[in-house]
């Protein structure tokens, strides 16, 4: 798991708790597809690469559990374009 990121399966999200707030990447599991529909980083924590850490954790989890990722969130779509190493996991 990416350092500091936890998977809150009950809430359907990956979380990173920081002084200043909770960063999160929310998903719905549709069969074997993680539909990542929202990422959120509090304004005071923006610009530190925290959303990127969350999305990396999503893809690591998907790879370990033979899942695919549907990037419904615009940030996740942009992140996948910058990281071709995860292209085999992307479900469009």
Q: What is the pLDDT of residues 46-79, one digit of tens each?
A: 999 999 999 999 999 999 999 999 999 999 999 9
pLDDT band at 92 (very low <50, low <70, confident <90, very high): confident
How high is the pLDDT of residue 55? 98
Strands annotated E in the chain: 6-8, 13-18, 21-30, 33-40, 68-71
For residue 23, indicate whether it is catalytic. no
> Is residue 1 a part of any domain in this protein?
no
Could you give the count of Cα atoms lying within 13 Å of 73 in the half-sphere of its Cβ? Answer: 22
How many of the other CB atoms lie within 10 Å of CB of 52? 16
Res 45 pLDDT > 90: yes
Residues of the domain holding 52: 6-89
Nearest to 24 by CA among 1, 42, 43, 47: 42
CA distance 23 to 19: 10
- Out of 50, 69, 73, 76, pick the active-site residue: 73
Structural domain count, the chain: 1
CATH number of the domain to which 81 belongs: 3.40.630.30
């Amino acid at each position: 798991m990416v350092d500091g990121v936890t998977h809150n399966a009950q809430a359907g999200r990956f979380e990173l708790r920081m002084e200043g707030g909770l960063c999160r990447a929310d998903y719905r599991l549709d069969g074997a597809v993680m539909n990542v529909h929202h990422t959120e980083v509090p304004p005071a924590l923006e610009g530190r690469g925290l959303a990127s850490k969350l999305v990396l954790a999503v893809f690591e989890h998907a790879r370990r559990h033979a899942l695919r990722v549907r990037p419904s969130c615009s940030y996740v779509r942009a992140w996948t374009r910058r990281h071709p190493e995860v292209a085999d996991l992307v479900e469009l």
